[in-house]
Structure 1
Amino acid sequence: MSTSNPWRVLESRKIYDNNWISLTEHQVLNPAGGAGIYGEVHFKNIAIGILPLDADLNTWLVGQYRFPIKEYSWEIVEGGGALNSDPIASAKRELAEETGLIAKHYTEIQRMHLSNSVSDELAIIYLAQDLQLGDSSPEETEELIIRKMPFQEAYEMVMNGKITDSISVAAILKTKILIQEGKV
């Protein structure tokens, strides 16, 4: 079986565009040759996730109301970076803005596509270590609660379904494995 693109695009039109996303509707022939439409959401930023971890294996979670899902959510530090910017610079900015933390060491632990069935959104996740506390400065669109807790507690929140954000789940589970393997 071939790994090349089996879809044939007949026509495309952008039907929505703002500062963060665009939506394109494609008239397509699917892999079996049937006519159809495919909606594609293009993200104009890279999703950045940062899991701060101190020497005592404490981490910081961010709580905030998430408008699209109409729920309060506990997450690792997250934000966005322009597609053409340095993702580490975006990670440093987001960590400082949301928590006031400054990390001396950043390790990329995961790259993942967040919804590859309808969007091209890429997430890059970092483990931030050797931390110092400074002043936070959240954006005006953010009403945040910051909680410092043992990493194990964050892991348990994932396991009991209290953390459902995909970037946070991936970051916490990957970090748990890295800790168990003695790599953190």
Structure 2
Amino acid sequence: MKNPWTVLAERPVYDNKWIGVTEYDVLNPSGGKGIYGKVHFKGLAIGILPLDEEGYTWLVGQYRFPLDAYSWEIPEGGGDFAVSPIESARRELKEETGLVAKEYTLIQEMHLSNSVSDERAFIFLARGLHQEEATPEETEQLVVRRVAFDEAFEMVLRGEITDSIAVAGILKVKLMLMSGALKI
């Protein structure tokens, strides 16, 4: 479809190594003048749902500065555009949990907040797991828990897991299990 928005002017407002914020003077689809702000992400969002042969997954708990709250999530992190999403998934899973997987399956691609940002996410299912040593980044103070997958699903239903990548990954795997597309 043709873009119904007309950009009259644009101004960079903020920039760091992770994001850039641009403000646009626009004509909206009805012809009215307005402004639109866009957050440009300089990397990909990567989520990995590890699932072992006993039906367990791993959750990562950490304090999220922007939310001023503690969050339980699947292993997640950023991926460089110059690196394939699956390579970023391998790095993030090992970094945060110490897990190494034999098999990765892309189960979901998402736009995370398409009304204000261009951030894209890739979620992988990781199988054939073995444990090595985790190597979290200096900015990460992580708590890693191995939990029954059904417990992670219940945490989503109870609102204890609210991170969009984690919610999407857990719900997608639950649907795959229920439909028979995936077996424990």
> What TM-score does the superposition give when structure 1 sets the normalisation length?
0.98
Correspondences of 1:1-184 after superposition (within 5 Å): 3-184=1-182
> SS where residue 90 of structure 1 aligns?
helix
Deviations 1:58-116 (A, max 9, x none): 00000000000000000000001111211111000000000000000000000000000
Aligned-residue sequence identity (percent) comes to 62
Q: Which amino acid aligns with 1:162?
A: E
> CA RMSD, aligned part only?
0.5
CA distance in 2: counterparts of 1:8 and 1:84, whole angstroms: 31
Q: Kindly tell me the number of residue pairs found equivalent between the two proteins.
A: 182
Deviation at 1:43, TM superposition (A): 0.1
Instruction: After superposition, give the CA deviation of every residue in 1:126-181 in whole Å (9 maximum; x if it has no partner).
Output: 00000000000100000000000100000000001000000000000000000111
TM-score by structure 2 length? 0.98
Q: Distance in 2 between matches of 1:138 and 1:127?
A: 20
**Moved >6 Å (runs of 4+):** none
Unaligned runs of 5+ in 1: none
Question: Residue 175 of structure 1 aligns to which amino acid in structure 2?
Answer: V
Q: Which runs of 5+ in 2 are unaligned?
A: none
Secondary structure at the residue paired with 1:143?
coil
For residues 94 and 30 of structure 1, the distance between their equivalents in structure 2, rounded to whole angstroms, comes to 40
Query: What is the rounded CA distance, in whole Å, between the counterparts of 2:108 and 2:83 in structure 1?
Result: 18
What secondary structure, in the 3-state scheme, does the structure 2 residue paired with 1:33 have? coil
Matched residue SS, 2:159:
coil
Distance in 2, matches of 1:27 and 1:123, equals: 28
